[in-house]
Amino acid sequence: MSHIDGCSFTIASDGINPDEVPTRTLYTGAKIPAIGLGTFGSDRFSGQAIAKAVVGAAEVGYRHFDCADVYGNEHLVGEALQKIIKGGIRREKLWVTSKLWNDKHAEEDVIPACRKSLEDLQLDYLDLYLIHWPFPNYHAPGVDVTSRDPSAKPYIHENYMKTWRQMEKLVDMGLVRHIGTSNMTIPKLRLLLQDARIKPACNQMELHPHFQQPGLFDFCVQHDIVPIGFSPIGSPNRPFRDRSPEDTAAIEDPVIVKIAERLGVHPAIVCLKWAVQRGQVPIPFSIKREQYLGNLRCTLTEPLTEEEMQEIAAIDKNCRLIKGQVFLWKDGQHWEDLWDPTGEITSA
């Protein structure tokens, strides 16, 4: 029995023509829709509700879905994808991303982990498979930021490459069309580019007006790696464990609010317009039809002016929200150590 019964697929009359949604071209020539739907419910929404939103989003014109094993809902998203495909949308018209979780980096675990995601998602292949984090450290879902894996290790390039070789095999096997990275830094990507047989097509990274990562963004673009931006609205309802007193909110920034007032839209829409115009692929999350439809539509409507783009460039606060504290591997470290602040990989 389906978990999302009562939910059928019908193209919405007020939706967006998916062929009109902008795309980005990867180094392989493949095109990825320039906006996708996130599927991490931040512990607030059930997998069923998210799966229904996937169907609803496809009805209004989304073709790109960002998934991950660790979100715990791929088996339900898979039911949604089946409804969409059975409803007449050809598989080749969809872009589905999934991610390898941190406890599956061992050589023998990578291919089975990908097969599990494929089975859950009810697909023969993924368009993109990412290594979710460059650290193999295990922590249980939902743990507090003070939680540590007693066997946690720093980034070890030799080990990362062992994982990457298996990712490359997945491409050779036809199970995955593209492979990529997530939560990386420039020095880590430099090493990967030097040693990869199949280079990363995309890097998924936190990107919103208060965390623009200009150095990493430019590095990706220069190396023909498409930046995919997570938490593009600044993840206003992220779990409490991911909140710190020093965090700022892009959607409350006076510049964003002013532009939103000019356009008569929610500040979230300004964040997404900025993202697409800058050249990253945002993957906003929402299960609310009005929001996800508006998020898609805004990629086609009135662009921000050049002056507004410059004003937004000037409000970067280098405010990382998803800090990754649980990956720290020894006492006395600061979360910034995970992000190679000196430009060298923090290895000890």
Ligand X SMILES: NC(=O)c1ccc[n+]([C@@H]2O[C@H](COP(=O)([O-])OP(=O)(O)OC[C@H]3O[C@@H](n4cnc5c(N)ncnc54)[C@H](OP(=O)(O)O)[C@@H]3O)[C@@H](O)[C@H]2O)c1
Which residues sit at the interface with ligand X, rule CB under 6 A?
38-40, 42, 66, 132, 182-183, 204, 230-238, 266, 268-269, 283-286, 288, 291, 294-295, 322
Looking at residue 151, the DSSP 8-state letter turns out to be T
> In the complex, what is the shortest distance from the CB of residue 339 to ligand X, in angstroms, rounded to a whole number?
13
Contact (Cβ atoms closer than 8 angstroms) between residue 238 and residue 321 = yes
Q: Which of 62, 71, 155, 160 is catalytic?
A: 71
User: Among candidates 115, 50, 60, 125, which has minimal Cα distance to 80?
Assistant: 50
> In the complex, what is the shortest distance from the CB of residue 45 to ligand X, in angstroms, rounded to a whole number?
8
Name which of 36 and 172 has its Cβ closer to ligand X.
36
User: Residue of minimal CB distance from ligand X?
Assistant: 38
User: In this structure, what token pair is assigned to residue 179?
Assistant: 């492979």
> In the complex, what is the shortest distance from the CB of residue 272 to ligand X, in angstroms, rounded to a whole number?
8
First to last CA, the chain: 51
Name the strand (E) or helix (H) holding 163: helix 157-172
> In the complex, what is the shortest distance from the CB of residue 320 to ligand X, in angstroms, rounded to a whole number?
11
Name which of 72 and 236 has its Cβ closer to ligand X.
236
| Burial classification of residue 151, based on how many CB atoms lie within 10 Å of its CB (0-12 exposed, 13-18 middle, 19 or more buried) | exposed
Name which of 101 and 172 has its Cβ closer to ligand X.
101
User: In this structure, what token pair is assigned to residue 138?
Assistant: 């295990």
Is the Cα torsion angle 336, 339, 344, 347 positive or negative in sign? positive
Name which of 158 and 296 has its Cβ closer to ligand X.
296
Strands 23-25 and 31-33 come out as antiparallel
What values do phi and psi take at 296, rounded to 5?
A: -75, -45
Sheet holding 281-282, edge to edge: 37-38, 64-66, 95-100, 128-131, 179-182, 202-206, 226-230, 281-282
> In the complex, what is the shortest distance from the CB of residue 299 to ligand X, in angstroms, rounded to a whole number?
12
> In the complex, what is the shortest distance from the CB of residue 88 to ligand X, in angstroms, rounded to a whole number?
25
Q: How far is C-alpha 218 from the geometric centre of its chain's CA atoms?
A: 18
Name which of 185 and 286 has its Cβ closer to ligand X.
286
Name which of 315 and 332 has its Cβ closer to ligand X.
315
The verdict on whether 71 is a catalytic residue reads yes
Count the neighbouring beta carbons within 10 Å of the beta carbon of residue 150.
7
Active site residues: 71
